[in-house]
């Protein structure tokens, strides 16, 4: 039996409507041409499909299609954004601000640049996991060139005040990058409302395929984004490599579905998430990480007192979820996001992330509630007998 999938923040299945259309761009009887082939029909058809997808992704975020650079995913988009800005400056002339709760795909490039001598300030969140405008302002230095703060956190779903941070960056003339991998498909995203210069997107977080993403780059900005992958000069020189037509058709169709269905879907998923919480809240000694602030509709990150997250996850084998821990090569480390919010190691280890999505049903939620209640009660009983 397949487990009940409550890990939509890790990845989503490809929507059937999307997969069906993707398949038509792969095989001999489909449009398998190279979108860069200008001399024959198969190339033109592929290019048309890629440009239609570019329009669909641009539309979803309030952008112009000429502002979309295709990448292999949000990890590459984030790398291109940070390194592509930094390469315009000598290290001593460039200070970067990032949030402590960013995905590793922002933190690691930031630390890589710091290793080369670039200035770096990592801004701490408040106890709800929010990177405030005030905290970014306090981190500012005379040579701050780039601020990177995510729209929605992948572990907690907590939303950052990106419009406010965007306004601050505009006022002080710095570039603003937003990792929106957890926001696109879950909340409305508008590059103009947020005044972003660069924004990262990942296909597989909103029912598109893995291995494809985009970086929005504002056309009217004077930023000269420096390519990190050199080759045939695709994507106006910013990202070389033959375009993967089927992947791009996939992310484009996934974007169109989100545009048409987001409002209704967010409400439905939010109600299921609230039902899940209502069904376990009275277990006691339990809290929502980031519970005091706005979050994406599908996220529920819960700290269960008196239980170990790994043990709880093992006991919940019929539900696919994530723990508040990360396995490094040597040990199980508590989540740095939860730690930055002030949770103890124990509370972080006792946390689980439930993330609901398009195919979650009421029935699944009720089954999960039942399993969680049983498992938590049993584990707490064991612990009290042992002590």
Ligand X SMILES: *Cc1c(COP(=O)(O)O)cnc(C)c1O
What is the 3-state secondary structure of 266-295? HHHHHHHHHHHHHHHHHHCCEEECCCCCCE
User: What does DSSP say about strands 95-99 and 325-327: parallel, antiparallel, or unpaired?
Assistant: unpaired
327 is catalytic: yes
Q: Could you tell me the sign of the dihedral formed by the alpha carbons of 154, 159, 165, 166, in that order? A: positive
- Cα–Cα dist 305/286, whole Å: 6
Residue 196 in contact with ligand X, rule: CB under 6 A: no
Q: Which residue's CB is nearer to ligand X, number 351 or number 372?
A: 351
Q: Of 107, 130, 150, 276, which one interacts with ligand X (CB under 6 A)?
A: 150
CA 57 to chain centre: 16
Identify residues 69-88 at the interface with ligand X (CB under 6 A).
Answer: 73-75
Site string for ligand X, 156-195 (x = CB under 6 A): -----------------------x-xx-------------
Pick left, alpha or beta for residue 321 (phi over 0 → left; psi -120 to 50 → alpha; otherwise beta).
beta
- Cα–Cα dist 354/343, whole Å: 18
Identify residues 211-240 at the interface with ligand X (CB under 6 A).
Answer: 213
Q: Of 202, 245, 355, 360, which one interacts with ligand X (CB under 6 A)?
A: 202
Answer whether 227's CB lies under 8 Å from 79's CB: no
Q: Which residue's CB is nearer to ligand X, number 46 or number 337?
A: 337
Q: Which residue's CB is nearer to ligand X, number 203 or number 350?
A: 203
Site string for ligand X, 235-274 (x = CB under 6 A): ----------------------------------------
Give the burial class of 330: count Cβ atoms within 10 A of its Cβ; 0-12 exposed, 13-18 middle, 19 or more buried. Answer: exposed
Site residue total, ligand X (CB under 6 A):
13
- Using CB under 6 A, list all residues that contact ligand X: 73-75, 103, 105, 150, 154, 179, 181-182, 202, 205, 213
Q: Which sequence positions are flagged as catalytic?
A: 327
């Amino acid at each position: 039996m397949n487990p009940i999938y409550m890990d939509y923040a890790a990845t989503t299945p490809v929507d059937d409507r999307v997969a069906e259309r993707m398949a038509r761009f792969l095989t001999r009887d489909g449009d398998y041409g190279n979108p860069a082939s200008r001399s024959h029909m198969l190339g033109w058809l592929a290019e048309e499909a890629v440009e239609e997808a570019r329009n669909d992704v641009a539309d979803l975020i309030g952008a112009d299609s000429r502002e979309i650079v295709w990448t292999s995913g949000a990890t590459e988009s984030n790398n291109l954004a940070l390194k592509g800005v930094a390469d315009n400056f000598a290290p001593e002339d460039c200070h970067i601000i990032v949030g402590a709760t960013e995905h590793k795909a922002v933190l690691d490039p930031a630390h890589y640049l710091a290793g080369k001598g670039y200035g770096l300030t990592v801004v701490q969140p408040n106890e709800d996991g929010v990177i405030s405008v005030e905290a970014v302002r306090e981190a500012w230095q005379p040579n701050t060139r780039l601020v990177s703060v995510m729209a929605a956190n992948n572990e907690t779903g907590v939303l950052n005040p990106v419009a406010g941070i965007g306004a601050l960056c505009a006022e002080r003339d710095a570039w603003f990058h937003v990792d929106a991998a957890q926001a696109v498909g879950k909340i409305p995203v508008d590059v103009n409302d947020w005044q972003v210069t660069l924004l990262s997107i990942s296909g597989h977080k909103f029912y598109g395929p893995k291995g494809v993403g985009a970086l929005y780059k504002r056309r009217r900005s004077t930023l000269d984004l420096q390519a990190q992958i050199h080759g045939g000069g695709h994507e106006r020189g910013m990202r070389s490599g033959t375009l993967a037509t089927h992947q791009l058709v996939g992310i484009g169709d996934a974007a169109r579905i989100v545009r048409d269905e987001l409002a209704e879907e967010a409400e439905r998923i939010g109600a299921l998430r609230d039902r899940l919480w209502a069904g376990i809240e009275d277990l006691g000694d339990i809290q929502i990480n980031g519970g005091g602030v706005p979050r994406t509709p599908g996220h529920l990150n819960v700290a269960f007192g008196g239980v170990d997250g790994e043990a709880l996850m093992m006991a919940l084998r019929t539900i696919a979820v994530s723990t508040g821990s990360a396995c490094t090569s040597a040990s199980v480390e508590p989540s740095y996001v939860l730690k930055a919010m002030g949770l103890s190691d124990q509370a972080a280890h006792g946390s689980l992330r439930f993330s609901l999505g398009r195919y979650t049903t009421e029935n699944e939620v009720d089954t999960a509630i039942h399993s969680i209640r049983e498992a938590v009660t049993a584990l707490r009983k064991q612990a009290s007998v042992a002590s």
